[in-house]
């Protein structure tokens, strides 16, 4: 891979071109945003690895470099408190991110969760990468927090890892302890939506029981609502969203418009931009 090849997928961004080059561009190509500075030691380790991977992925994502010293307003807008901080933007929204310089294997695993490699991208190294398990991520982040307790972003990363591992109560505790600037971070908002959906299932009937109730009475909105949440959290996102649409189409005001609220919460938790876009249009057709 030549430097020229890598450079075609790496670019600098500031306040005046962020809207066009990152938010709008992410509607068609994922954009990885690297917040860095010249004086930052870990940035000098992470930056070259990200640029290398941008070249290897051959346009499957583009790397936007934000020098926080030159773009202080942009860094403030995203609540950047430590660097390096990396955020992945897809379909105009932040869908994931991390703070600190991760090892290359973990960077690859992070990208593979969100980015579909294009033809011509270098995938031969992928088979050697052992994905980090949720428990391994929790252990790594707990050690990092012990070493750098002032780095609040690591606590947000830990909350996200705890949720991925199924530890909802622990994730909520970490989320609640975040400082105000991180409480409104897009990843925190997403996690809060996931927790709200998970809490809705406390004491809820099983999936087969909910399916039976809906089959027996298609207007059992409470059962249909819980069925939608179960399907969504158990991996059948489209089927879950369909349940919320069914309520919205027949009883949009039920339980103070809960079906619309469920759909909006679900949209913030899903990584599938195509699916989200499709169901946003379906929701809009019912509302307007």
Catalytic site positions: 40, 43
In the numeric block, the tokens 């990152």 are attached to 22
3 state SS of 121: coil
Calculate helix-pair angle for 186-200, 221-233, nearest 10 degrees. Answer: 130
Residue length of the chain? 288
In the numeric block, the tokens 């930056």 are attached to 47
3 state SS of 1: coil
3 state SS of 25: helix
Strand 62-67 versus strand 10-12 pairing type: parallel
Spatial distance between the Cα atoms of 259 and 241, rounded to a whole number of angstroms: 9
Residue pair 229/262 in contact by the 8 Å Cβ criterion? yes
């Amino acid at each position: 891979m030549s430097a020229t090849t890598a450079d075609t997928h790496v670019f600098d961004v500031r306040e005046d071109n962020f809207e066009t080059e990152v938010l709008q561009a992410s509607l068609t190509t994922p954009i990885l945003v690297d917040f860095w500075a010249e004086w930052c030691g870990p940035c000098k380790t992470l930056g070259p690895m990200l640029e290398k991977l941008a070249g290897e992925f051959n346009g499957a994502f583009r790397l936007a470099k934000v020098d926080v010293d030159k773009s202080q307003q942009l860094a403030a807008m995203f609540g950047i408190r430590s660097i390096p901080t990396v955020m992945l933007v897809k379909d105009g929204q932040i869908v994931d991110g991390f703070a600190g310089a991760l090892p290359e294997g973990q960077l690859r695993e992070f990208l593979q969760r969100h980015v579909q490699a294009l033809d011509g991208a270098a995938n031969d190294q992928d088979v050697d990468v052992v994905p980090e398990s949720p428990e391994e991520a929790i252990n790594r982040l707990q050690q990092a927090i012990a070493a750098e307790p002032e780095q609040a972003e690591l606590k947000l990363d830990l909350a996200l890892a705890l949720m991925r591992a199924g530890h909802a109560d622990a994730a909520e505790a970490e989320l609640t302890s975040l400082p105000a600037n991180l409480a409104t971070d897009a990843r925190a908002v997403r996690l809060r939506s996931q927790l709200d959906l998970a809490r809705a299932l406390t004491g809820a009937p099983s999936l087969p029981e909910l399916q039976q109730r809906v089959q027996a009475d298609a207007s059992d909105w409470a059962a249909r609502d819980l069925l939608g949440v179960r399907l969504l959290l158990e991996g059948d996102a489209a089927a879950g969203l369909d349940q919320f649409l069914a309520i919205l189409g027949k009883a949009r005001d039920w339980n103070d418009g809960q079906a619309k609220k469920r759909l909006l919460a679900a949209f913030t938790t899903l990584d599938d931009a195509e699916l989200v876009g499709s169901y946003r249009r379906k929701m809009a057709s019912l509302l307007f």
